Amino acid sequence: MTQMIINGKKVDSVSGRVLDVLSPVDGEKFSTIPRGDAKDIDLAVKAAREAVENQWKQFNAAERGRLLTKLSSKVLENLEELAQLEAKDTGKAITTARTDINVLARYFEFYAGAADKIHGEVIPFMNGYNVQVVREPLGVTAHIIPWNYPAQMLGRAVAPALAMGNACVVKPAEDACLSVIKVAEMALEVGFPPGVLNVVTGLGEEAGAALAKHHDINFVSFTGSNEVGVLVQQAAALNAVKCVLELGGKSAHVVFKDADFKLAVPTIVKGIVGNTGQTCTAGSRLLVQRDVYDEFMALLAEEFSKVRVGSPAMDLNCGPVVNKAQFNRVNKYVEQGKQEGLEIIAEGAIDENVPTKGYYVVPTLFKAHNHDSQLFQDEIFGPVLVAAPFDTEEEAIELANATDYGLMGAVWTENGGRQMRVAKAMKSGQVYINGFGAGGGVELPFGGVKRSGHGREKGFIALEELSTTKTIIHFHG
Ligand code: NAP
Ligand code: MG
């Protein structure tokens, strides 16, 4: 049985209710978590408010940075334990889980260093005045995070918030939240005061909704589906609370005939099968110049057919997907692709020794003749890649932008002018040239345009999102 963290203590829900924790690896129950609701959220927000107005305020920027450094070290000391827990909870391959925990440590490390490097300004004004613009924390920040990268998402959300002196309430996904609780425990062990980092587990519609609409939060960040993101923004709007949304994507690779195929082929495969395709920045659409479409797709099919699916311990390219709903969702899209007449030109293989009750799906590569299928529009969130041809640079740009999403993109060409033209024309928050990293780079500003959301995370820009300015106008005569 796992407890959650409110006001520096491990606690059950007020109602005493719990939820089962099932592992996607074998479908077995291996723990329970508290089913927190509005009452628990209220306690957590009160604890955060108390901390941010009193004890946490006593810590200056360098001291906050030092605590984050300690937390980063603590995470690295416990890397293997955290990675095993993350793998069991989410189903991801153990190497992926280890990478995730390293990235979590990097978030704390990066923002530890940044904490005392955010300065205010002095503005020249009328004679007799001194005007200072100082940066202040927002107060209580709420963070609703998903199940695909629980540990990384925790770091992305709370590391900059804590660096700026906010106190946080985190609502992780019911499907995968154990690493998040563990790290909140570690934060207490290294000296974060009680109430600075609270974790309330429970259902999205109960605990998540109660957090988004709580009248005493000052900020909410959300990562997950578009539908729920819109609900979170509506709830935040009722209290005029700032909202940062990261709502996934349908990111395109654009491959021109002069691209370096040797570099592109393995990178494109990795960009869709990594984390079993359950990545907001997965490269899930492929556009290839018609002159080389068949040649390139044949090379890609060869690489794609090497993809293997197994349990986290088998440490193959893909694990199981996170739950039954995702299992059904991915299979439904594969079925739809077949019915629409898209050609399957390669499939990965599920290892014959996987537990029978786990949620293992077959990675699938579809080759289409045009970009019309719904599979080019919907975020499938599984190891399914759809490809279509294009003729000109202009058409490539038009197709790359022909979705509601705008999170990432990649252009593959050796032509320098074309690299920059296409990168500039892509409507997305990040663009790679001759490379692709799903997620990646805690230093790099990240977020979407269009229906992928708004606001920025990662990098120094997150510190601006998680703070506000005060202008002090001093008349000294
Ligand atoms: P989701 O429902 O949007 O879940 C994301 C987070 O929001 C979870 O913590 C969830 O809690 C919480 N939540 C759910 N309903 C809520 C509500 N009414 N108010 C406040 N919070 C709420 O996503 P999902 O159902 O797990 O996955 C569905 C699809 O969303 C995926 O197939 C994928 O396309 C997309 N998705 C995108 C990302 C991303 O990285 N952008 C991540 C995950 C999913 P519970 O899980 O406990 O309900
Ligand atoms: Mg959900």
d(CA 138, CA 119): 16
CA-nearest of 265, 324, 270 to 300 is: 265
Tell me the sheet residues that pair with 22: 29
Q: If you take atom 41 of ligand 1, which residue's CA is the nearest one?
A: 248
- Any idea what the Cα angle at residue 57 is, between residues 240 and 183, rounded to 5°? 85
User: pLDDT by residue for the chain (477 residues), tens digit each?
Assistant: 999 999 999 999 999 999 999 999 999 999 999 999 999 999 999 999 999 999 999 999 999 999 999 999 999 999 999 999 999 999 999 999 999 999 999 999 999 999 999 999 999 999 999 999 999 999 999 999 999 999 999 999 999 999 999 999 999 999 999 999 999 999 999 999 999 999 999 999 999 999 999 999 999 999 999 999 999 999 999 999 999 999 999 999 999 999 999 999 999 999 999 999 999 999 999 999 999 999 999 999 999 999 999 999 999 999 999 999 999 999 999 999 999 999 999 999 999 999 999 999 999 999 999 999 999 999 999 999 999 999 999 999 999 999 999 999 999 999 999 999 999 999 999 999 999 997 669 999 999 999 999 999 999 999 999 999 999 999 999
Ligand 1 pocket test, pick from 20, 37, 144 with the greatest ligand atom count within 8 Å of Cβ, gives 144
What atom in ligand 1 is closest to the CA of residue 212? 20
List C-alpha distances in Å: 428 to 393, 433, 449, 455: 17, 13, 6, 13
What atom in ligand 1 is closest to the CA of residue 227? 3
Neighbours of 392 (CB within 10 A): 10
Contact 131, 122 (CB under 8 A): yes
Contact 275, 96 (CB under 8 A): yes
Structure tokens of 275?
A: 């984390």
CA-nearest of 165, 194, 139 to 61 is: 165
**For position 439, what pLDDT does the model report?**
65
List C-alpha distances in Å: 191 to 39, 66, 76: 27, 10, 17
**For position 185, what pLDDT does the model report?**
98
d(CA 458, CA 383): 26
Tell me the sheet residues that pair with 37: none
Eight-state DSSP code of residue 313: G
The residues lining ligand 1, judged by C-beta closer than 6 Å to any ligand atom, are 144-148, 171, 173-175, 203-205, 208-209, 212, 223-225, 228, 231-232, 246-248, 280, 329, 379, 381
- Any idea what the Cα angle at residue 240 is, between residues 215 and 445, rounded to 5°? 110
Amino acid at 233: Q
CA-nearest of 24, 22, 20, 23 to 276 is: 24
- Per annotation, catalytic residue among 86, 174, 246, 379: 246
128 φ/ψ sector (left φ>0, alpha ψ -120 to 50, else beta): left
Say how far residue 76 (Cα) sits from the centre of its chain.
Answer: 20
- Any idea what the Cα angle at residue 364 is, between residues 393 and 87, rounded to 5°? 110
Angle between helices 94-114 and 61-77 (to 10 degrees): 160
Burial of 147 (0-12, 13-18, 19+ CB in 10 A): buried
- pTM for the whole thing? 0.97
Helices (H), 323-415: 324-339, 393-400
d(CA 463, CA 459): 8
- Per annotation, catalytic residue among 168, 177, 280, 318: 280
d(CA 37, CA 211): 9
Relative to beta strand 384-390, strand 283-289 is parallel
**For position 461, what pLDDT does the model report?**
97
Q: If you take atom 10 of ligand 1, which residue's CA is the nearest one?
A: 204
**For position 438, what pLDDT does the model report?**
72
Amino acid at 294: D
Structure tokens of 79?
A: 């890397």
C-alpha count within 13 angstroms, C-beta hemisphere, residue 349: 7
Question: Quick check: is 168 catalytic?
Answer: no
* CA dihedral of residues 154, 159, 165, 171 (deg, nearest 10): 0
